[in-house]
Amino acid sequence: MAGPFASGKKTVSSAGTAEAIIATGTHARSITIIAIAANSGQVHLGDSGVSASTNTGLDAGERLEITDLNGFDIGTIFIDVGTNDDGVDFYYVAS
């Protein structure tokens, strides 16, 4: 049985600083992460070591959908941004 539907927003005030999108211990069945439409630069996703050189990143408005997480701790998903105060909106089904 799926848990409740929830959402959140995460911005990074200082570009070059990886930050978790939500507190650890938040388990989900699925998540959609969307780069905020007003972002000036890209958002990079990964673990606590994510940086602008880790991957291509998401441009403003682009999304990443991950399903079948089977209770994965989404608090271990980190973002880094190329421009101060850019970030993501996210939507998930808790497990």
CA 48 – CA 33 distance, rounded (Å): 17
| pTM of the full structure | 0.93
Measured in Å, how far apart are the chain's first and last C-alpha atoms?
8
Q: State the pLDDT at residue 2.
A: 59
pLDDT digits (tens, 9 = 90+) for 4-21: 999 999 999 999 999 999
| Total number of domains in the chain | 1
| CATH number of domain containing 56 | 2.60.120
Domain that holds residue 34: 5-94
**Confidence category of residue 54, pLDDT binned at 50, 70, 90:** confident
CA dist list (Å): 88 to 2, 24, 41, 46: 24, 17, 12, 13
Mean pLDDT over 49-70 rounds to 94
